[in-house]
Structure 1
């Protein structure tokens, strides 16, 4: 597990491109037969990747958490980026297709199986136990957002978001950008009370998402490839545009689970 410390907003303005990538971009989560993770002190979230082969993978009890199991004091969100696989929670198997999700509560025992499956894991501290739930992208009603003439049409699939299935601090879901659109949100916005982690998926090897970060009026950017993630602190704007078709998994944790608790940033403030 890699550990990343919280950062101050003014540090972005003077950072080199390499420093920005080291602090906020996660590039190597998915290695066959392994579970790899990053612990960020931004709201103490963990983002990890699990790529099983023939045998299911368990989430390690990483020393950074100080517990004998990953979910001893945490709750977990899982999204499958690859081929169908089984996530086994407390002995019960839940099949996840591409971009399907699963929530597992504090204290659960989780195994991740299915050769060809590729799981994104996000976890956050939890002080209560909530039940396991599976979310199918085919059955969750998407929230359509954006405008075609603004190149921002997208479908938002909310899995755990402050409405529907309960959680302590964690929210997560999937957004699919529609054909012909490029922006994942425009105008940008802030989540003053939450950290957000993005994982971009569905990009071809030659395509990138240009991800904007930083405070309004002092933004920088990252070029993000397929299956790479960005840690976005509470003080950073959220916006990005892709050079080709893509989707992204979003996960948040912080002060509340109110999905609508955000601050829109007018373009003139950038």
Structure 2
């Protein structure tokens, strides 16, 4: 297991960052390494973002005793996991859950043994996850993408025709603070979350995938009047503090997972930014 620590940053400091500094602070460039579990612990709402590819051997989710101060990973946390690869399984305290591509599993506070496995080690699963601090136990729950209620939004006229799938939210799988879902852009559409917004009561992490090898997303961030951009490639994630916008435009369509942490779970709690106010 590998854990990287990222500290919180301020809008004032970010104004002066060059490209390398922006990427070092916010971009998570490598989450998937065959046979490994990698994690980034952000001090922004203390969210942990991770990826795991189990190959020949199962991989157990374990706590980093030094960084987490816990005997097991979910001692004081909850986790949402989405399989972005071929079929795999997650065993939670002896119960196995099979996840096909784009299926989600929520695991609550207090579960001790979480083990990742692939149905075919030669064509392994790719599990992406977000984990947040938790104060009570909610039941472990699987949501297949076929069971998630789709919400169709946008238009080809504005290059943002898309389908949103909400997995962990107030009207879906219950959690302490974690909110998690996925957005699929239709072919010919490139923009996400524009017009943009911020939400001072919670932060967010975006994970971009299903992109061609030479595809990129220009991820927009920063205060609405001090915008910056970061180039994001396939299977990379980016941390978005509460004060930052989080929009993007790609060289083709793509899919992204959004995970939120903070003091509420209201999906519609957004501070909208008028297009005329962006700079």
TM superposition score normalised by structure 1: 0.98
How does 1:81-120 map onto structure 2 within 5 Å? 81-108=84-111, 109-114=113-118, 115=121, 116-120=124-128
Residue by residue over 1:142-173, the C-alpha shift from the partner in whole angstroms, topping out at 9 and shown as x without a partner, is: 11111221011110000012212211010101
Whole-Å Cα distance in 1 between the matches of residues 234 and 240 of structure 2?
Answer: 17
CA distance in 2, matches of 1:162, 1:234: 20
- 2:223 equivalent to 1:215: yes
Name the residue aligned to 2:39: 37
Match 1:203 to one of 199, 211, 216: 211
Tell me the residue number matched to 1:163.
Answer: 171
Once the 2 structures are TM-superposed, how far is the Cα of residue 34 of structure 1 from its aligned partner? 0.7
1:3-152 pair list within 5 angstroms = 3-62=5-64, 63-108=66-111, 109-114=113-118, 115=121, 116-152=124-160
Q: Whole-Å Cα distance in 2 between the matches of residues 217 and 71 of structure 1?
A: 39
Aligned-residue RMSD, C-alpha = 0.9
Q: Which residue of 2 aligns with 1:241?
A: 249
Does structure 2 conserve the Cα–Cα contact (< 8 Å) formed by 1:182 and 1:241? yes
Unaligned runs of 5+ in 2: none
Q: Which residue of the partner structure matches residue 257 of structure 1?
A: 265
How many Å separate the matches in 2 of 1:88 and 1:147? 40
Aligned length: 270
How far, CA to CA, are the matches of 2:222 and 2:213 in structure 1? 26
1:2 aligns with 2:13: no
- Structure 1: how far apart are the matches of 2:37 and 2:213? 23
Mapped partners of 2:253, 2:96: distance in 1 = 32
Residues 52-97 of structure 1 deviation map (CA, whole Å, 9 limit, x = unaligned): 0022111121121110111100000001111010011111111111
Structure 1 segments (4+ residues) deviating >4 Å? none
User: Partners in 2 of 1:145 and 1:87 — Cα distance?
Assistant: 32
State TM-score, norm by structure 2.
Answer: 0.95
